[in-house]
Amino acid sequence: MLTYSVVNWKAKLLYFILFLSFLNAVLRLSEDGLSIYRLFIPLQIFLIYTLSVTEFKKFIVILLLLLLFGATGCMISTYSLNENNLVFLIHYSILILTFFSSSVLISITGETCFYKFTAFFFGFLIVTGIMDLFGVTFPNIEHIPDAIRGIHRIENDYSLALVSFVFVVFSISRKKITASILTFFTSAICFYNDSKVALLFVVAGYFCFIFKNIRFRQKGIQVDIIFFFVIMLIMFLFNYIFSYKIAFPGRDIHIRTNRRACYQIIELNPYGDLYGSISNRTDMVIYTLKDLFSSFGLGIGFGNTLTMLSTAKYAFIGSAKSIHNFPLQFIAGIGLIFSLFLLYSILKQTSLYTKIIFFLMLLASLSQSVGVFSNYYFFCCLFFIILHGKQNGRV
């Protein structure tokens, strides 16, 4: 029987290991993915075992199912076994480990403590972003003008990490002033970093948050609606203030291009050799869907979306190393059956609002390349939202 002091000490150590995981890019020891955090993974697994045997057993079961379905995809895939299979098996395993680490810590230390942990690291991200803005860089991070990276190797990864905490606030807080300030602040950084996808969906999350928390009382509703439109006016003006940095396409062209991309995906009709960010990413989605359908929904194996991009058949896509679509990449790798099982398992007993925030946060990651698999703070916040939704409490 573990005493409280032992449990408390082990929980603190597990928090420390999670903190190291958030610094994974800075703590990399080599380009093959080895980092100081990943050296601590055996200890992380041991801590889960000693703190909660039940959660450890769940972790092992999910890990074995992941291996089973991923291996099935590899065997039926037209792609031969390669290094990507092992690399992405490790990536997915670490994400599952992060989920159960978060679950154990929340059950032992409580939601409030875990929230303070995520809030502390959000503040840490802000400090590192300011340092990067003034040219102070961290190991393995390259400083470039007109971008804020903080402790991440790509500015889009930094933007996603910031908006991740804002989604946590949307999920567990009713404080509209706090949520509005954070939304405005992170939107500014997304504008500066040209992270349009993260910006789009954090604003969408803000809309959901405001509408959910409108007080339907006499006079109260008037105050909230006025407050809502004032914030929207500020953000609208903010768009023009920073128009010198972000050159958005014209409205008609923007709408027409996105609409055509949707039609192309629905019809599974690729652009072909048409060069451009939207056309290339659309084609990558289409080819991934075709491969997934050809596997009868069983998946094409760990990491084989990257293998697909490296084949001569898709050489026109260019130097893309990822399909820039984490949800689809995950589903294509392990198949629809296991993906739906995981989705049902983690979202059951959660409210509709939690499900909406969950999917908006996933959509906010669509601008990310393979770096999203090492953005453990993003996943930690995502898992916190899910686990909080299951308990249906508020901090």
Q: pLDDT per residue over 59-86, tens digit each?
A: 999 999 999 988 888 888 878 778 888 8
Q: Which of 240, 135, 208 is nearest to 361 (CA)?
A: 208
Q: What percent of the chain has pLDDT over 70?
A: 77
- Mean pLDDT (whole number) for 111-140: 91
Using the structure block, give the residue that is written with the tokens 């978060």: 102
Q: For 6-17, how does the pLDDT look when each residue is reduced to its tens digit (9 = 90+)?
A: 568 899 999 999
pTM assigned to the model: 0.84
Question: Which residues lie below 8 Å from residue 167, measured CB to CB, with a gap of 6+?
Answer: 202, 205, 357, 360, 361, 364, 381, 382, 385
Alpha-carbon dihedral sign for residues 365, 263, 329, 61: positive
Q: Give residue-wise pLDDT tens across range 324-350.
A: 788 888 888 888 888 898 889 888 888
pLDDT value at residue 23: 93
The arithmetic mean of pLDDT across residues 214-222, rounded, is: 52
Among 30-39, 112-121, 344-353, top mean pLDDT goes to: 112-121
The winner for highest mean pLDDT among 80-89, 110-119, 142-151, 384-393 is 110-119
Domain residue ranges in the chain: 1-51+82-246+349-393
pLDDT for 76 equals 83
Distance of CA 76 to the CA centre of its chain: 29
pLDDT of residue 320: 61
Q: How many whole angstroms separate alpha carbon 181 and alpha carbon 160?
A: 17
| DSSP per-residue codes, 34-82 | -BHHHHTHHHHHHHHHHH-HHHHHHHHHHHHHHHHHHHHHHHHSSSPP-
Residue 130: is its pLDDT beyond 70?
Answer: yes
Q: What is the pLDDT of residue 385?
A: 94
Give, for 311, the enclosing helix (H) or strand (E). none
CB-based contact 132:319 (threshold 8 Å) = no
Identify the weakest region by mean pLDDT among 154-163, 272-281, 301-310: 272-281
Three-state secondary-structure class, residue 324: coil
Work out the burial of residue 316: count CB atoms within 10 Å of its CB; fewer than 13 is exposed, 13-18 middle, 19 or more buried.
middle
Mean pLDDT over residues 211-234, rounded?
58
Dist CA 205 CA 327 (whole Å): 18
